[in-house]
Amino acid sequence: MTGAERVYAAVGIGRARHARVDGDAPRRRRDTDRNTPRHDVPLPPSGPAPAPESAPAGAWDDGLIARRVIEGAAAPEPVAVVETRGPSAQALAAPLAYDGPLRARLDALRELVGLSRTRLDSRTLAEAGRVLDEAAARRRLSGQHTVVAIAGATGSGKSQLFNSLAGVTISETGVRRPTTSAPIACSWSDGAATLLDRLGIPGRLRRRPVQSVEAEAQLRGLVLIDLPDHDSAAVQHREQVDRVLALVDAVVWVVDPEKYADAVLHERYLRPMAGHAEVMFVVLNQTDRLPGEATEQVLDDLRRLLDEDGIALGEYGEPGATVLALSALTGDGVGELRESLGQFVAERGAPARRIAADLDNAAAGLRPVYATRRRIGLSEEARDEFADRLAEAVGATAAGEAAERAWLRNANRACGTPWLRLWRWYQDRYDSPTGRFPLRNQADEEATARQRVEHAVRTLSERASTGLPAPWAQAVREAAVRGSQGLPEALDELAARAGLPPGRPPRPGWWPAAVLTQAAMTILQIVGGLWLAGQIVDLMAPNLGVPVLLMVLGIVGGPLVEWSCRLAARGPARRYGTDAERRLREAAAGCGRARVLDPVAAELLRYREVREQYARVTGVGATAGVGVGAG
């Protein structure tokens, strides 16, 4: 048995268990049962109820304070409408002004929503849009008024507390439940008409309290709203509660000793509104039903439940919810609540704090689609690898090697011996190329190149989207896929334009000298041969030494010149091939950057921008851990 259960065991009250409302969980009595009399507790006789002092000890009713009425007050007291003394209605209706930090956060949220509309669905941005709309609407209305709603469950006594604060019976109380069927407003000063119009409260449900000048001055600027029961059996009542709670500046939650731990209250309202603790009052009503120190024990248990809900308590000078205990029936503690409300309203800060809390809630809801703890973006390594894959797909390395071979082949043709060149011409003319070079199917090469391009794009998109929230990761992948359409064809055209230039490769300056030397070696061979032939046919005097020497010099010198030229041509040929490969790589990388990298980088930059705006919305400041490369 918990401490709270022991308290209730001591005082004889059946506490409603603080249990989640599941399909298998026992459900408590609903409002549909409250219109019928309860048989476990004796009902008071008809007519005016006796005063609390005359009630015997332990002769309690079922906890519905509204069933107790003060002796002699059978008929409700007429509500008097008086003019407020003090500033004019026009002065009190001055528009609300947000401070600099709150305006900056709202502007950042507006920018964030604008940047995200094409990336996120409308349901994700709905709450942020609602906060912006409500902040703009509230800013146009009075900043000298504070709208406070009194909310509670059936039988919690919120209507009687409303009447006690007003000093006159405004909201109907009674045995029949639910009593409050529509929100009722009570304003302590003029100029609140536009605020009540925003809440949708008609003129017939707007009241003014009959108060002394002192009490009126204490609560000047307060607009108090009595709401229907949040657990009402009537769906339209619950809808009105939810609608008004989203518009008011602050809330006074009224709970009673029986249902302060009600699961519906905590799970549907208090826990989701934990961020609104600074504009929240939690009032334990009906303390006159708790004997001795039971009130403090119930208050401690209530604070524990609020702490479990994540609601900060305004104790020891810390900002948070105000927790009070009172009895609207006897008036005990009502003065303390009135004083707290007076100080709260006099600060004129509740509307801005409410908007700031709504901002925090909206930012928390958007966190999964904006926040990430990982560093995102494309590294230099990823971009270089993408360029290498595209160069491989376009055949840059093979093109460079082909250019190098073409340069060497041209050098051999220019500096080789005539006899070797004649032999190569003969081979090229009469030998079948299929026996010396394997031929590949062009369709197979195109298919292989396309697969390489698709694999490069897929790898890049996966690396770029790693660590991003799901919507932005999807946007990055879609940008990469759109850019990859037509990329293989573009690379093919690029390879045709940026490949080997037409004609022969350029010749270095030493080629003419090498050609002349080779020609001289050939002339020596021809001269020597003719000289020997002339001696054979007796046209010339016999002299074998000179013609043989000339022929040997020509025969040995020709291959020697060719070998020397081949060695000298390796460096220029390698540079020529490297330049050809580099041009093709740069062209392929430029094509990939324009079609894929730039769109992906644009999505990453957009995410970086919205992430920075999100950081401003949350008030964190500059974004950390976001690195985006433009490629």
Q: Distance between CA atoms of 613 and 621, rounded to whole angstroms?
A: 9
Contact 359, 105 (CB under 8 A): yes
The pLDDT value recorded for residue 501 is 56
The answer as to whether 221 is a domain residue is yes
- Among 336-340, 437-441, 478-482, the minimum mean pLDDT is found in 437-441
Q: Is residue 233 part of a domain?
A: yes
Mean pLDDT of 78-90: 41
Q: Would 434 be classed as within a structural domain?
A: no
Q: Is there a domain that residue 439 lies in?
A: no
For residue 65, the model assigns a pLDDT of 28
Q: Worst-scoring range by mean pLDDT, 115-124, 136-145, 530-539, 587-596? A: 530-539
State mean pLDDT over 218-240. Answer: 91
Query: 359: domain range?
Result: 98-143+349-369
In this prediction, residue 402 has a pLDDT band, given cuts at 50, 70 and 90, of: confident
| Inside any domain, residue 19 | no
- Please give the average per-residue pLDDT across 538-564, as a whole number: 74
Size of the chain, expressed as the number of residues it contains: 631
Q: What is the mean pLDDT of residues 466-485?
A: 89
Domain of 330, CATH number, reads 3.40.50.300
Q: Note whether 118 and 248 are same-domain residues.
A: no
Residues 339 and 478 in one domain: no
Same domain (yes/no): 180, 325: yes
Quick one: 180 and 231 in the same domain?
Answer: yes
Q: Do 164 and 106 share a structural domain? A: no
Q: What's the pLDDT score for residue 504?
A: 58
- Cα gap 221→342, rounded to integer Å: 9
Task: Quote the pLDDT of residue 483.
Answer: 86
Do 123 and 246 belong to one domain? no
C-beta separation of 289 from 259 below 8 A: no
Report d(CA 4, CA 542) in Å as an integer: 139
Residue 67: which of 184, 159, 182, 183 has the closest Cα? 159
Residue 214: what pLDDT?
72
Question: Burial letters for 496-528: b for 16+ Cβ neighbours within 10 Å, e otherwise?
Answer: eebbbeeeebebeeebeebeebbeebbebbeeb
50 pLDDT band (50/70/90 cuts)?
Answer: very low
End-to-end CA distance of the chain: 66
Q: Are residues 455 and 580 in the same domain?
A: yes
Q: Do 193 and 276 belong together in one domain?
A: yes
Higher-confidence residue: 129 or 423? 129
93 in a domain, yes or no?
no
* pLDDT score recorded for residue 60: 27
Question: Are residues 271 and 321 part of one domain?
Answer: yes
Residue 295 tokens, joined? 């009130």
Q: What is the 3-state secondary structure (H, E, C) of 282-310?
A: EEECCHHHCCCCHHHHHHHHHHHHHHHCC
- Say yes or no: 311 and 339 in one domain: yes
| Listed range (47-61, 315-329, 605-619) with the worst mean pLDDT | 47-61
- Evaluate whether residue 40 is within a structural domain: no
Are 579 and 556 contacting, i.e. CB atoms less than 8 angstroms apart?
no
- Write down the pLDDT at residue 511: 65
| Cβ atoms of 164 and 328 closer than 8 Å | yes
Mark whether 191 and 283 lie in a shared domain: yes
- Residue 77 forms part of a structural domain: no
The share of the chain scoring above pLDDT 70, in percent, equals: 72
pLDDT value for 293 = 86
Mean pLDDT value of segment 475-488: 88
**pLDDT tens by residue, 492-526:** 777 766 655 555 566 666 667 767 777 777 787 77
Check if the beta carbon of residue 297 is closer than 8 Å to that of residue 68: no
For the chain, how many structural domains are there in total?
3
Q: Are residues 491 and 452 in the same domain?
A: yes
pLDDT digits (tens, 9 = 90+) for 368-400: 998 877 777 788 888 888 888 888 887 777 777
Cross-sheet strand order for the sheet of 206-207: 206-207, 184-187, 222-226, 146-152, 250-255, 280-284, 322-325
Q: Which residue has the higher pLDDT, 424 or 131?
A: 131
Most confident among 7-21, 339-353, 454-468, 533-547 (mean pLDDT): 339-353
